Amino acid sequence: MNYSQIPLDGFQGLKQNWRSDALSGFLVFLLALPLSLGIAKASEFPPAMGVLTAMIGGLLVTLFAGSRLTIKGPAAGLITICAGAVTEMGGGQEGWQLALGAVVVAAGIQILFGFLKFGTFSEIFPHSAVHGMLAAIGLIIFSKQIHVLLGIDPATLKGLEPIALFERIPDSIRHADPRVTVLGVISLVIIFGLPFVKNTFIKRIPAPMYVLGFTIPMAWLMDFKHTEPAFDMVKIGDFWGQIGLNVRFDLIESFVFWKYVVMFLFVNTIETLLTVKAIDGLDPWKRPSDPNKDLVAVGIGNSVSSVLGGLPMISEVARSSANVNFGGRTRWANFFHGLFLLVAMLLFIPVIEMIPNTALAALLIAVGYRLASPNEFFKVYKIGSEQLAIFIITILVTLATDLLVGVGAGIIAKLVFHLINGVPLSSMFKGHFEVEDSGDVYKLKINQAAVFTNILSFKKAFNNIPANRQVVLDFTGATMLDHTFMELLHHFEDDYEHKGGNLTMIGFERFKASSSHPLAARKFSPEQLRKIEINLDTRQVELRDFAGDHGFTFYPQRVRDLKKFKDFPITTGNRLLFEENIMTAHRDWGRIEISDIGLTEGVRQEQREGVVTVLELTELDVQVPDFSLEPESLWSKFSELTFGKDVDFGDQPGFSKKYYLRGQDELAVRKFFNSELRDFLENREEVHLECHRNRILLYKRREALAISELRYLEKFAEDLVAILST
C-alpha cells in the first residue's frame, strides 16, 4: 500500500523484501518451468536446456541487471531462430552445439553494445514492424506445435516451411493419435478457459500448472511411457551430465553462422530493451531502469548459458508482467525464480519426465496465439490503418522469407508512408526543434516532422530538459508526428510529471489523428483549426442527460493529465491512458466527480485494455487515513506477504470476511473504520475503496458502468460521506 517508500536495492533490498520477492518468484517459477521446457524443445534444443537458461537468468543475471522487475529466461520469440540455426547447421546434437557458437558471438557483441550505450537505438524500430515480426513468429509456432499436439512424429515434418506446415494440418488431423490429442485439447480448454473463471485465487495460479496438474496424472493413468512413442513424452535424461563445454565454432567462417549471429543479436536485443521499457511503466515506484546495463547483464547471461548448452535469454514479457502482478518488489524476485528452478532440477526430474509433449505444445500454441491473436490485429488497426498495413506486410514477408527481411520490409513500408504523407527529406533523419529557457518556463518547440527515423534527436532533447520545471512542448511548427514518436512522448510525459515536473503541450489541435487511439499518428490539417463541433457518442449523450438530471457539469473531452490518480492502488500493475466523460458537482459536504478512465493491464502481447468508471470524493471536512479496501478472496491471504497485512476486526467477522483492508498506519485505519462504517459497508454491494491524501476513490468493478448503475454509485458516496461526517 505504501508506495512512497521506494524498496531498497542490492542485499539491503533482499533483507527488506525477501518475503514478497520469494512469493512472486515462486509463482513465476510455476509459470516458467513448463514454458522453458516447451520453448527449448520447440527450438530443437534438449528440453532441460530451457530450464538451465532460466536458472542462469535468475541466479546469475540478477546480480548485474539494470532493471528491477524483469524476469530473464528463454522466450517464444526466439524459437524460430533457434530451430532454424540448429537445422541449417546440421541438426541434432551437432546443429545444437554449432548454433550455440552463434549465440556466444552474438552475446559478446551484445555486451559491447551495452558498454557503447546502444540501448537507446531500440527506439528507432517502428513498433508496428516489431509487433508484426512477433505475430509472424506466433503463426510459425502454431504451424509447428499443432502437429505435436496431435501426436504426429516430428521427424516426418523436418525441413517443412511454415506454409507447408499449415498445409499439412488436415493430414495431421486425419492421422492424429486420439489419446494424445484429447489431453492436448483439454489443455487448451484449461488455458483459454481460465480467464473466464471468476474466483480470484484460482486465476492467480498460472495456467501451465493446471495443465501439468491434469496431464501428468492422466499420462500416468494411461501409461503413456509404455503405450505411446518416445517422442510423445518429455525426456530430460542426464541433465547435470549434459551441462558442460557444449559450444562449437566450426562454422564461424560461413555465411549461415553470421546470418544467425545477426538474427540472434537483433531479436534478442530489441525484445529485451522493449520489455525493460514496458515493465518500467508498470513499476508502482516508477524506478527507471538502465537499459544499457541490462543489455550487458543479458549478454553475460547469454554467454554463460550458451557455453554450457542453454538457449539465448531475454527479459521475457509474460513472466515479467506476471512478476509485477504477483507483487515482486526488487530484482530478487528474478533470483528466487531461478533458485526454485534449480531445486526442481535437483529433486523433481522424474516427475518432469512424466509430462506429455502434447501439454507443452498446448502451452506454446497459447503463446503463439497471444503473439498473433485477432486482438493484436485489432489493436494495431485502432492506432491507424497505415500501422495495420505495415504490421501485415511484416508478417507476410517474414513468413515467406525470414525475420530480418520481414522487419526490413516493414521499415521500408513505413518510410514509404512517411514520404506519401509529405515528410520532407531534410527531417527524415534529423529532428528539428528550438529551445527557449526564460527561467520560469522551459519551452521546446518541435518543427517539421517527428518520426521514427529521427526519434533519437527528440529523445536527446527530452533528456536535456531540466527536472522539476514548468515545461511547454510547442507543436505549432510541426507537420507530422508518427506513432513511434507519440509512444516516446507518452512515456516522457508520464515520467517527467511523476518526478514532479509540470508539462503543458500546445498546438495539438492543429493535427488530424489517423484514429481515435491516444497514441495514433498525427498530421497537420488546416481544417482542424476550423472545427468547433464536438460529436458525442451514444454513451456520452446518456451521460450528459444523467449529469443534467443530477446536478453535474459534464465534460466529454478526453484528457491525459492523470496526476491526481498518482499513488492510488488502482494504478498498481496498470498504465492509465486517459480520463474522459468527467462529471463534477459541488455539494455541501465537498466535491464529487465521476469519470471513465482508460487503462491497460500488462504490457505488449500481455496487454489488455479497459475502461473503469470511478467516483472521486475531495474537499471533505473529515480527515481520512490512506487505506485500500477491496473484496476479500482466497488470494488475499497470499497478498498479505506482498501488499500488506489484512486489518481484521474480531467483533465484526462478517466485515472482515467480506473485505481485505490494508493501510500503512494500522491504528489510524482501525480508528477510522468504526462500527457504523463497517456495518454500512458489510450490508451494501461489494465495492473498491481507496484513499490517498484525503481523497477517496470508489469503483464497483474494473469496467465501465451502465448509466443505471451511476445513481447507485452516487447514492453510495453520499451515504458514505454522511456516515463519515457524524
Task: Evaluate if residue 640 carries a pLDDT over 80.
Answer: no
Q: How confident is the model at residue 1 (pLDDT cuts 50, 70, 90)?
A: very low
Reading the block at residue 2, the C-alpha cell is 505504501
Q: What is the mean pLDDT of the chain?
A: 89
Measured CA angle at 189 (ends 188, 190), to 5 deg: 90
pLDDT band at residue 648 under the 50/70/90 scheme: confident
Mapped to the 3 state alphabet, what secondary structure does 170-210 carry? HHHHHCCCHHHHHHHHHHHHHHHHHHHCCCHHHHHCCHHHH
3-state SS class at 547: helix
Q: Encode burial over 451-475: b for 16+ CB neighbours within 10 A, e otherwise.
A: bbbbbbbbbebbeebeeebebbbbb
Closest CA to 121 of 303, 260, 259, 272: 272
Q: What angle do CA 344, 349, 352 make, to 5 degrees?
A: 90
Instruction: Judge whether residue 375 has pLDDT over 70.
Output: yes
Query: Which residue reads 493419435 in cell numbers?
Result: 177
Task: Identify the H or E element spanning 512.
Answer: strand 511-513
What distance in Å separates the CA atoms of residue 389 and residue 421, rounded to the nearest whole number? 15
With contact defined as beta carbons under 8 Å apart, do 261 and 102 qualify?
A: yes
pLDDT at 304: 97
Cα separation, 594 vs 603, in Å, equals 27
pLDDT, position 3: 46
CB distance 586 to 651 below 8 Å:
no
At 530, the pLDDT band (50, 70, 90 cuts) reads low
Res. 635: pLDDT tops 70: no
Distance (Å, whole) CA 428 – CA 418:
9
The pLDDT of residue 641: 54
Q: Which helix (H) or strand (E) holds 215?
A: helix 207-221
User: In Å, what is the CA distance from 110 to each residue of 64, 150, 320?
Assistant: 14, 39, 21
Locate the domains of the chain by residue range: 10-405, 425-530
Q: What is the mean pLDDT of residues 140-163?
A: 91
**pLDDT number for residue 638:** 56
Among candidate residues 115, 108, 399, the one with its CA nearest the CA of residue 261: 108
C-alpha grid cell, residue 235: 525426456
Whether the CA torsion 635, 638, 644, 645 is positive or negative: it is positive
Percent of the chain beyond pLDDT 90? 53
Does residue 500 have a pLDDT over 60?
Answer: yes
The residue among 89 and 557 whose pLDDT is bigger is 89
Which phi and psi (to 5°) does residue 366 adopt? -65, -40
Q: What is the pLDDT of residues 581-627, one digit of tens each?
A: 999 988 888 899 999 998 887 766 677 788 999 999 998 888 899 99
Which of the four pLDDT bands, split at 50, 70 and 90, describes residue 634? low
Q: How far apart are CA 234 and CA 350, in angstroms?
A: 10
* Helix residue ranges per DSSP H, 89-177: 92-115, 127-149, 162-167, 169-174
Residue that wins the pLDDT comparison between 723 and 559:
723
3-state secondary structure of 506: strand
Residue 408 near residue 414, CB atoms below 8 Å: no
Contact 331, 13 (CB under 8 A): yes
Burial 352-366 (b: 16+ CB within 10 A, else e): bbbbbbbbbbbbbbb
**Cell of residue 383, nine digits:** 492506432
Confidence of residue 532 (pLDDT cuts 50, 70, 90): very low
d(CA 687, CA 659) in angstroms, rounded, equals 9
pLDDT of the residue at 2: 47
Q: What is the pLDDT of residues 546-591, one digit of tens each?
A: 998 888 989 887 887 677 887 788 877 777 888 889 999 888 888 9
- For residue 686, the one-letter residue type is E
Average pLDDT over residues 267-274: 90
Q: Find the angle CA(686)-CA(687)-CA(688) to the nearest 5 degrees.
A: 140
Range 445-458 average pLDDT: 93
**Are 629 and 690 contacting, i.e. CB atoms less than 8 angstroms apart?**
yes
Q: What is the pLDDT of residue 290?
A: 92
- Average pLDDT score over residue span 90-94: 92
Sign of CA dihedral 630, 632, 636, 640: positive
- 116-120, 142-146, 240-244 — which is least confidently predicted? 116-120
d(CA 566, CA 216): 45
Q: Which DSSP letter does residue 356 get? A: B
Residue 299 has pLDDT above 70, yes or no: yes
Give 633-649 as a DSSP string.
Answer: -THHHHHHHHH------
CA-closest candidate to residue 690, choices 712, 722, 658, 663: 663
- Above 80 in pLDDT, residue 537? yes
Using a cut of 0.85, tell me whether the model's pTM lies above it: no
Of the candidate ranges 373-377, 528-532, 557-561, the one whose mean pLDDT is the lowest? 528-532
SS3 219: helix
| 434: three-class secondary structure by DSSP | strand
Classify residue 436 as exposed, middle or buried by CB count within 10 Å of its CB (0-12, 13-18, 19+).
Answer: exposed
Which helix (H) or strand (E) segment is 34 a member of?
helix 10-42
Residue 637 has a pLDDT of: 58
What are the start-end ranges of the H helices in 478-525?
483-498
Higher-pLDDT residue of 640, 615: 615
pLDDT-based confidence at residue 274 (cuts at 50, 70, 90): confident
Q: Looking at the predicted structure, is the pLDDT value of residue 138 above 60?
A: yes
pLDDT at 387: 92
Tens of pLDDT along 19-32?
999 999 998 998 89
* Spatial separation of the C-alpha atoms in residues 506 and 478, rounded to whole Å: 11
Are 418 and 485 within 8 A, CB to CB?
A: no
| 497 neighbors 503 (Cβ within 8 angstroms) | yes
Task: Tell me the C-alpha to C-alpha distance, in Å, between residue 604 and each of 101, 134, 141, 355, 371.
Answer: 30, 10, 18, 30, 9
Q: What is the pLDDT of residue 344?
A: 95
What Cα–Cα distance (Å) separates residue 697 from each residue in 320, 568, 613, 691, 713? 28, 8, 10, 6, 11
Residue 559's beta-bridge partner residues? 579
Task: Compute the average pLDDT of residues 383-396.
Answer: 93
277/494 Cα distance (integer angstroms)? 13
Q: Are 294 and 280 in contact (CB under 8 A)?
A: no
Task: Report how far apart the first and last C-alpha atoms of the chain are (Å, whole number).
Answer: 27
**Is beta strand 441-450 parallel, antiparallel or unpaired with respect to 470-481?**
parallel
Q: What is the CATH number of domain 425-530?
A: 3.30.750.24
